[in-house]
Each structure stands twice: as structure tokens, then as C-alpha cells.
Amino acid sequence: MGSLDHNFKKSGFNISSMPNSQQEKIVIGEAGYVLEDVPHLSDYIPNLHTYPNPLQDNPSYSVVKQYFVDVDDTVAQKIVIHKNSPRGIHFRRAGPRQKVYFEPDDVYACIVTCGGLCPGLNTVIREIVCGLYYMYGVSRVMGIDGGYRGFYSKNTIPLTPKVVNGIHKRGGTILGTSRGGHVTKKIVDSIQDRGINQVYIIGGDGTQRGAAVIFEEIRRRGLNVAVAGIPKTIDNDIPVIDKSFGFDSAVEEAQRAISAAHVEATSFENGIGLVKLMGRDSGFIAMYATLASRDVDCCLIPESPFYLEGRGGLFEYIEHRLRDNGHMVIVIAEGAGQELVSESLKSSDPSGNKLLHDVGLWISERIKEHFSKQKKMVINLKYIDPTYMIRAIPSNASDNVYCTLLAESAVHGAMAGYTGFTVGPVNGRHAYIPFNRIIEKQNKVVITDRMWARLLSSTLQPSFLRTRDIIKENKEEEPLTQLADNSTTNDNLMEKQILC
């Protein structure tokens, strides 16, 4: 394990540990090279034994040339750089090592799923179990029933290749899940008392925060236990990694709802199909489903504020589309427009997530009220909410392969003695990423980026930004004449978009 660190020391480079709760391992190299490394059991447990990797005698892998990953291999966070820019941040490359830090017969692993459902959970569970069994000869694996609280309040589920054989064809998680229930001392006590030495934690950013705390307590106690996280969020809002598992399946299934909305909208006079998709804080599913569909006239996401009434507002745009096309399809992410609905709901769920209003139901009622009462215009609006149907589906072919790679990378990392890490693809190569990088922020749609521009070009919707800013400035006592001039200008721009 120490080859990379040794090479950098020998070359005169600087290795520093940044003083924070995560005790980050930072390796500084030439030309601005920075390795954000993950912890290793040998960092705090001296004189650990190593063993030859059982894969070297596995007939299934004997045909692979250079199957083992070199300990010096890293993955660059940014693949596009300028000619004279630094080499930038790197992460340790995932994959099997020639030496492992666990005897297969001594391994007692556990798997837990936390948070909401997501396509692919069962596939990850299956491939962790099968990876441990078929690649490393580990036969003792158990599932924790019911999320974090299952460590101390529920029964466990023995997991073998036979038990998990066909679960990838089912939605949900065979282990059950829950939100909250994270009591660090009880969880680590249970891990210690049961003799567990590998913990695989599948969940979103809140779950990974919990995994980081569990790892810190395990390290504080000096336990020989590897903690590996597999990031899960259907919203694709995990930073650093290319995408999260289940996202492709969600976008594909969202197409069915959009297609149904389009059929409804085109079958009636002034038909409007309104589809609410997942996306509490990030609108990736709504954006990619809109781009893939090409039947959507307006996509509303949390990152892009919008307003309803007045020049350049949503109501005016709907009126233009109905007048020109006779129908319209709107996609809205569940977290969009929450500031418009009400300020009355302030409570949170057990995971600390703010409870959201049903913005789809709210906006459908506002649209009906505006056009029937104020405009005296007949519309036929159909509201479709496929949220929980999408979460509950099995993963598609793309996600099944992706989940397999995630699970196997996590198993390779734990067997090699790495701990306190999350696994995921960075620029197409799987890497071990420190927990702190995964939980430091949420990945969001950048509405000044080319992908959002592609969406605007596809839907021809206004961005809503310019007029919104003008209205805000007007409230701050901007001269009325200036507002009128700017509003007229923006109106003309919107007309051009609609007529294209």
C-alpha cells in the first residue's frame, strides 16, 4: 500500500495531513499534482499482515493481462485542462491489488441500504455478495434489515449467492430501508460485538455522512474494520462522480410518463400534459428526460427560478404555446418553485430533508384557475405524477452493468485494506473518493452551461431569468420607464423563441 507515498517521499515531494475531522490524506507532487487519498487500515493499526490476492488463482480472471491495479495509479478529477495549467486533483484508482489485508475465511461482511428507494439497489447487494464469494472466497455476508437502525433494532438476513441470485430483476431492496436511525455508538457497538470487519453502506449524501461518522468512531476505537460507501441518489446530485446509479433507469422510465402526457395533450383542445418528476434540489432527471423526449415545451427545475404572472411569466408562455400549437407538455421537478407555493411548511423528514409541497398539484390548479377564470379560456390539463413508480422499478441494462462495477470496486477496496471511502466513476475510471468530498456539497444543474442551453433550444421556453431580475429591480425602486423598456425587449426575445 505504501508504494505511492514512498515514491513521493523519495522524490522529495511533500505529504501533508490536513487537520480536520476527516484527517484528509493529501499528497502533493510536481506540476500541481494533488492526490486526495483515502484512509487505509494500516494508517492506525500497526503491523497488519498481508496475503496474496486469491484472484491470482481464480480461473475466471487468469486470462486478464495486468488484472491487478498498480498502487501508484490515480484518476484525474478534471480531464480537460489548459496547456500550462497544473495537473490538478487526483483520486486513488479503484481495482484489485496484488496484496490483500484480509484472509477470506476471517471476513465477516455486512451490507445496509438507507434512505429512499432507487433502481439498482438489489443489483448492488447481489454483486457485493457474489463479488466477495466468487472473487475472494468470502462466505460470511449478512444484510442489515431496515437501514441504520437495523444495526441495533432488527434481525439480520444471511446473504449467499443463492439467496441473492435473481434479486437484480426486482425493484426496491430486499434488505429494507429507512430514513434516520443513525446512533453512532449503537451502530459501532453492534459492528464490534458481532465481529463484523467489512461494512458496505449504500445510500445518498445523508447516508454517506453517517458512514463517515461510523468510520471515524471505528478508527477512534482502533478496530480492524473497513468501511466502504456506495453512493446512491436517483437525483444524480452526488458531486465528483460522473453519475449515480439508478439515474439512467429513472430517465428512461420518465419517458413513459412524458409520452403519456403528450398523447393526452394532443388529443384534446388546448391540452396540457403536466408531469412531475423527482429532483428535490437538482433537476437532472427533468432536464435529461426533457432532452431525450423532445416532446416537452417547458421544463422547470429547482436551479432555474420562474414566476407565473406578468410579462415573460409562465402563464404568458403557456398562452403563446396553446395559441400556436394547440397543446403543451410541461415537466416540473419536485423541488422547483417551492418558494412560490407557501412558506407554511417548515418541517423535515427523519433524514433532515425539508418536506416539500406538491408543486405539481399546486401549479396545475393555478394554471386551471388562471385560464378558466381570468382568461375565460377552455383548457384540458392532465397531471401525471410517476415519482414512486419510477423509484420502484428494477434497474435497466445500463445501470445493471454500472452497479456491478460499483460493487466490485467497493469489494476490491475493502479487501485491499482501504476504508472511509466512497467508490464511483471519475471521468470514466472508477476511483476511491474520501467521504468528505462526496458530502461537501450537492451536484446541481448549471443553468449557464451548454446542457441547459441545449434544453432551452429544444423546448424554446424562455429562461425566465432576465424578466425576473427586472421585476426584482423594479421593486427596489427602479424607474418605471426603464422597466417598461426592458420588459418590451424581453417580450420580443420571448416571441422570437416561440416563433422559431
pLDDT in the model for residue 350: 58
The yes-or-no verdict on residue 4 having pLDDT over 80 is no
Grid coordinates of 344 = 407554511
Q: How far apart are the first and last CA of the chain?
A: 60
Q: Which of 154, 455, 88 is nearest to 298 (CA)?
A: 455
Instruction: Please give the share of the chain, as a percent, with pLDDT higher than 70.
Output: 86
Strand 429-434 to strand 421-426: parallel, antiparallel, or no bridges (unpaired)?
antiparallel
Label residue 18 by pLDDT band (50, 70, 90). Answer: very low
Beta carbons of 474 and 487 less than 8 angstroms apart: no
Q: What angle do CA 212, 178, 430 make, to 5 degrees?
A: 45
DSSP per-residue string spanning 72-132: T-EEES-S---TTS--EEEEEEPS--SEESS-GGG--EEEEE-SS--TTHHHHHHHHHHII
Label residue 475 by pLDDT band (50, 70, 90). Answer: low
Label residue 351 by pLDDT band (50, 70, 90). Answer: low
Beta carbons of 286 and 359 less than 8 angstroms apart: no
Q: What's the average model confidence in pLDDT over 433-440?
A: 93
Grid coordinates of 210 = 453517517
Give yes or no: 469 in active site.
no
Kindly name the residue from 145, 235, 295, 297 that is annotated as catalytic: 235
pLDDT digits (tens, 9 = 90+) for 107-153: 999 999 999 999 999 999 999 999 999 999 999 999 999 999 999 98
| Residues contributing to the annotated binding site | 116, 179-180, 204-207, 233-235, 278-280, 334, 388-391
Q: Which amino acid is at 379?
A: I
pLDDT in the model for residue 73: 94
Torsion sign (Cα): 438, 441, 447, 449: negative
Q: How many Å apart are CA 498 and CA 459, to the nearest integer?
A: 9
Place of cell 429507512: 178
Instruction: Name the average pLDDT for the chain.
Output: 87
Instruction: Find all residues with CB under 8 Å of 157, minimum gap 6, and list them.
Output: 142, 143, 144, 145, 163, 174, 175
pLDDT digits (tens, 9 = 90+) for 168-216: 999 999 999 998 889 999 999 999 999 999 999 999 989 999 999 999 9
List phi, psi (to 5°) of 40: -135, 150
Q: What's the average model confidence in pLDDT over 1-15?
A: 39
Beta carbons of 147 and 176 less than 8 angstroms apart: yes
Q: Comparing 13 with 452, which gets the higher pLDDT?
A: 452
Taking CB atoms within 8 Å and a gap of at least 24, the contacts of 469-472 are: 471/307, 471/310
Label residue 478 by pLDDT band (50, 70, 90). Answer: very low
Burial of 380 (0-12, 13-18, 19+ CB in 10 A): middle
Q: Which amino acid is at 84?
A: N
Label residue 341 by pLDDT band (50, 70, 90). Answer: confident
Q: Is 453 helix (H, G, I), strand (E, B) or coil?
A: helix
The yes-or-no verdict on residue 77 having pLDDT over 80 is yes
Q: What's the average model confidence in pLDDT over 70-95?
A: 90
Beta carbons of 234 and 281 less than 8 angstroms apart: no
Place of cell 451536484: 443
Beta carbons of 163 and 133 less than 8 angstroms apart: no
Q: Comparing 311 with 211, which gets the higher pLDDT?
A: 211
pLDDT digits (tens, 9 = 90+) for 287-299: 999 999 999 999 9
